[in-house]
Amino acid sequence: MNQQIVSLLDAAALRYGVDPALVRAVAYVESRGEPDAVNKASGAAGVMQLIPATAKALGVKNALDPVENIDAGVRMLANLVRRFGDNSRALFAYNMGPGRLSRGAAVPSTVKQYALNIAARRAVEGGSEASALHAARSANPAKKSLLPSLSASASSLRESLSEERADVLVLRAELSAVTVALDECRATALELRSQLESVTVERDQLKRDLEAYGDTQPESTAS
């Protein structure tokens, strides 16, 4: 495999937490690391030999693009290792499909041989610097001891966030109630102003009527 492909494989392996030697071995057995490899029978394509349905599910637009193909293939392999708990079963699932394996389907001899071929190739690839780094990270007890603490901190933060969100919802409800009350007060004020203006007009009209009535009365004469 050329160095560019190896670099992409190692980077993806470290990104998704998979042994780079395993990733290299899968790529070698699947396609010899050839980006333009295509299986005419299944339609599997690229370095990690993604079938069209799998490529689509993983969001791959061009299965022959080594960057896309390797990222998606290694991401899937990492998920399978976590899901099935060991490399052998993950490799069975990568080859025959996780659904069939989960339903308890028998593992064909060809699939078992596929996993053995990858295991043999992994031994060849195991001396890489990336694999050594992965092994060191996996064996680091300090890193593992931090996980419960980090998990507890994350849980505490989630609880605090939930409480903050609840407080925000309460404040929003109170603000909405205040806004409704304020709108009602404004409407009442407008109505009272209208009534006041009407009363003022009526009062002024009465004043004018009284003045006009007084002007029409004859002045009284002393007897």
Active-site amino acid positions: 30
Q: Are 46 and 26 contacting, i.e. CB atoms less than 8 angstroms apart?
A: no
181-186 own/partner pairs: CB under 8 Å, 24+ apart = none
| Structure tokens given for 24 | 């290299």
- Kindly report the backbone phi and psi dihedral angles of residue 15, in degrees, each rounded to the nearest multiple of 5, phi listed first: -65, -40
Nearest one of 114, 26, 39, 36 to 74, comparing CA atoms: 26
**What does the buried/exposed string (b/e) look like for 151-177 if buried means 16 or more CB atoms within 10 Å of the residue's CB?**
eeeeeeeeeeeeeeeeeeeeeeeeeee
